[in-house]
């Protein structure tokens, strides 16, 4: 397979300038993640420690195979939300190896507001279950939560993807044969009691692990009975008397050990259907990506340069290299796994869309996972594009992407703008995982364009009313629009709201994609059936 020949001059001033800038972005990311991983307030952490409990990340570490990679999702969920008092959205989720098997872990952090569910906590829990279901990963719930964050009940309880969805998902997964394992470290109260109750295996920790539909205050109010939490729903009740729990754990560490034994006895074998090659590092240093992505987002860089630093041996078998040249398509391997890559070099023209659809068809026919690498400013506009039929050609790319049943992975390298986001497997397109770089941005259009449209709408509306806007008013509107777009299109806003599965350092792309592709083949790759493609 041909090796990409890089044209990057690593000793140029521009490269060095870009690199220095990108390093500040990576440092900022590392600092924010580190801060979020600390957990709740110092008071809550001290209390937790004094109680002799393990912190959420210590529990996860004890469940996982020693030294294995934990593919953590959205450590910056709820970033800059809820007065920054709910780091990681109060829940840690990710794929890790337990007794040699890839599992999904969903773990409450009891030091963050008692592990209660804020709207982003709910979203993160449901998203982790969705990933587990699509990839058929045994799911381990490390529960320790006060349940719904009561002041925000209207945003966590009633809707389709709110609290009730947890149990629906557990029922669906259990029926599909996806093991549901619950480790009860702390409180499982009210609806939360159904996390263990709907699980296949339940481990309950002595003294602290409590399961009840109504906690002691509710029991007192409803029946007058005076009873403490442990006597009401501790493991002595549920392992010995009620049968709600299956395993009695002496302490947190013992619960983790029992969990590893449960997973060791699942009797499940992964059948990887992909034709593997020997893994190989890229021929070019991935850290050079820092110097390739321009400090000014509008300036062009060649996506082949990013591909060269992402794939094995920088080998890339490019398809239709001379046709529809602003969409790059081709085959490569990542740590031995085959992938079909679609990468942008700017605007999508009709020929690009047709080429992309053709390429996706081939990957689906051959059951090859797809990787979409974004730097797209949308589909072409204007009378020429319309006469060439851009809507129907764009629809071919959107249709094939939407229907492609192979595992799909997406990385926002730089821009993901307008309908280009759809054709390139943006969040709405059911990719298995979507990661974003610190340099990425995603919006319906650029802030400058939106500012132009909104000021024109305002001017026209005032004109119809016989009035005119002052220059200051229009400048203010334009400025506010640009600023809002800059903030909401950025990666921190995106990841806080779980529009992606995490911001990643470009250097770690191979590791994240490898873990993602490896997990994806726990599920069989079905044949694809496309809808009616407008010719």
Using CB under 6 A, list all residues that contact ligand COA. 44, 113-114, 116, 146-150, 187, 189-191, 215
Q: What share of the chain is helix, strand, coil (3-state, %, to 5)?
A: 45, 20, 35
The Cα–Cα gap between 431 and 451 comes to 31
Closest to ligand COA by CB, 191 or 391 = 191
Nearest C-alpha neighbor of 34 from the set 88, 81, 85, 96 = 88
Q: State the minimum distance, in angstroms, from the CB of residue 65 to ligand COA.
A: 30
Q: State the minimum distance, in angstroms, from the CB of residue 372 to ligand COA.
A: 39
Q: Which two tokens stand for residue 399?
A: 């249709």
Closest to ligand COA by CB, 11 or 226 = 226
Q: Which two tokens stand for residue 451?
A: 């500012």
Nearest C-alpha neighbor of 273 from the set 390, 172, 367, 175 = 367
Q: Is residue 422 exposed (0-12), middle (13-18) or buried (19+ Cβ within 10 Å)?
A: buried
Q: Which two tokens stand for residue 257?
A: 């050990």
Q: State the minimum distance, in angstroms, from the CB of residue 259 to ligand COA.
A: 22
The CB density around residue 51, as the number of other CB atoms within 10 Å, is: 11
Q: State the minimum distance, in angstroms, from the CB of residue 244 to ligand COA.
A: 18
Q: Which residue has the tokens 């040249």?
A: 325
Q: Is 248 in contact with 235 (CB distance < 8 Å)?
A: yes
Long-range contacts: 479-483, Cβ < 8 Å, 24+? 479/451, 481/447, 481/450, 481/451, 481/454, 482/447, 482/448, 482/450, 482/451, 483/447
Q: State the minimum distance, in angstroms, from the CB of residue 205 to ligand COA.
A: 13
Closest to ligand COA by CB, 56 or 521 = 56
Closest to ligand COA by CB, 191 or 279 = 191
Closest to ligand COA by CB, 191 or 452 = 191
Closest to ligand COA by CB, 19 or 118 = 118
291 HSE (CA, 13 A, CB side): 18
Q: Is 510 in contact with 314 (CB distance < 8 Å)?
A: no
Q: State the minimum distance, in angstroms, from the CB of residue 86 to ligand COA.
A: 10
Closest to ligand COA by CB, 208 or 359 = 208
Q: Which DSSP helix (H) or strand (E) runs through 456?
A: helix 447-464
Closest to ligand COA by CB, 143 or 400 = 143
Closest to ligand COA by CB, 149 or 248 = 149
Q: State the minimum distance, in angstroms, from the CB of residue 314 to ligand COA.
A: 50
Q: State the minimum distance, in angstroms, from the CB of residue 167 to ligand COA.
A: 13
Q: Please report which residue ranges of 309-349 form alpha helices under DSSP H.
A: none
Q: State the minimum distance, in angstroms, from the CB of residue 329 to ligand COA.
A: 50
The Cα–Cα gap between 11 and 527 comes to 47
Closest to ligand COA by CB, 90 or 407 = 90
Q: State the minimum distance, in angstroms, from the CB of residue 148 to ligand COA.
A: 4
Q: Is 125 in contact with 94 (CB distance < 8 Å)?
A: no
Closest to ligand COA by CB, 233 or 426 = 233
The Cα–Cα gap between 169 and 149 comes to 21
Q: Which two tokens stand for residue 12?
A: 């140029």
Q: State the minimum distance, in angstroms, from the CB of residue 69 to ligand COA.
A: 31
The Cα–Cα gap between 338 and 274 comes to 7
Nearest residue to ligand COA, by Cβ distance, number only: 146
The Cα–Cα gap between 12 and 322 comes to 29
* Helix 119-135 vs helix 509-520: crossing angle, to nearest 10: 60
Q: State the minimum distance, in angstroms, from the CB of residue 117 to ligand COA.
A: 8
Q: Is 241 in contact with 218 (CB distance < 8 Å)?
A: no
Q: State the minimum distance, in angstroms, from the CB of residue 159 to ligand COA.
A: 16
The Cα–Cα gap between 220 and 148 comes to 20
Closest to ligand COA by CB, 113 or 393 = 113
Q: Is 496 in contact with 78 (CB distance < 8 Å)?
A: yes
Nearest C-alpha neighbor of 339 from the set 255, 276, 413, 384 = 276
Closest to ligand COA by CB, 146 or 286 = 146
């Amino acid at each position: 397979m041909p090796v990409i020949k890089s044209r990057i001059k690593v000793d140029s001033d521009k490269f060095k300038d870009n690199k220095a800038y990108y390093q500040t972005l990576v440092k900022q990311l590392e600092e924010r993640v580190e801060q979020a991983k600390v957990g709740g307030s110092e008071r809550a952490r001290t209390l937790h420690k004094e109680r002799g409990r393990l912190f959420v990340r210590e529990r996860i570490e004890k469940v996982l195979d020693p030294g294995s990679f934990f593919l953590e999702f959205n450590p910056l969920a709820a970033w800059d939300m809820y007065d920054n008092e709910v780091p990681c959205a109060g829940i840690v989720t990710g794929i890790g190896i337990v007794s040699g098997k890839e599992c999904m872990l969903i773990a409450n952090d009891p030091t963050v507001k008692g592990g209660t569910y804020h709207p982003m906590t709910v979203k993160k829990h449901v998203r982790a279950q969705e990933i587990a279901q699509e990839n058929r990963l045994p799911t381990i719930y490390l529960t320790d939560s006060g349940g719904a964050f009561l002041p925000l009940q209207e945003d966590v309880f009633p809707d389709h993807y709110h609290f009730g969805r947890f149990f629906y998902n557990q029922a669906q997964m259990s029926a599909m044969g996806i093991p549901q394992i619950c480790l009860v470290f702390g409180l499982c109260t009210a609806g939360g009691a159904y996390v263990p109750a709907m699980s296949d295996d339940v481990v309950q920790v002595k003294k602290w692990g409590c399961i009840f539909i109504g906690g002691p205050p509710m029991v007192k109010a409803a029946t007058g009975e005076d009873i403490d939490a442990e006597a009401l729903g501790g493991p002595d009740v549920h392992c010995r008397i009620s049968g709600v729990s299956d395993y009695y754990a002496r302490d947190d560490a013992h619960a983790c050990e029992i969990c590893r034994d449960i997973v060791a006895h699942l009797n499940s074998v992964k059948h990887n259907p992909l034709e593997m090659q020997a893994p190989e590092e890229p021929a070019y240093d991935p850290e050079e990506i820092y110097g390739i992505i321009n400090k000014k987002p509008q300036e062009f860089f060649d996506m082949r340069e990013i591909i060269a630093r992402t794939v094995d041996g920088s080998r890339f078998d490019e398809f239709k290299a001379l046709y529809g040249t602003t969409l790059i398509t081709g085959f490569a391997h990542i740590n031995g796994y085959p992938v079909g890559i679609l990468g942008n070099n700017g605007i999508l023209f009709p020929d690009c869309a047709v080429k992309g659809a053709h390429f996706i068809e081939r990957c689906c026919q051959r059951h090859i996972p797809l990787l979409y690498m974004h730097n797209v400013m949308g589909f072409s506009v204007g009378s020429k594009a319309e006469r060439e039929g851009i809507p129907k050609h764009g629809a071919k790319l959107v249709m094939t992407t939407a229907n492609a049943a192979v595992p799909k992975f997406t990385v926002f390298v730089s821009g993901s703008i307008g309908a280009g986001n759809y054709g390139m497997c943006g969040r709405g397109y059911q990719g298995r995982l979507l990661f974003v770089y610190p340099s990425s941005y995603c919006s319906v259009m650029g802030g400058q364009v939106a500012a132009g449209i909104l000021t024109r709408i305002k001017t026209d509306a005032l004109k119809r009313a016989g009035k005119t806007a002052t220059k200051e008013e229009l400048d203010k509107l334009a400025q506010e629009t640009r600023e809002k777009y800059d903030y909401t299109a950025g990666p921190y806003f995106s990841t806080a709201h779980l529009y992606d599965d995490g911001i990643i350092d470009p250097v770690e792309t191979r590791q994240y994609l490898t873990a993602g592709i490896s997990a994806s083949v726990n599920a069989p790759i079905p044949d694809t059936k496309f809808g009616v493609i407008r010719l």
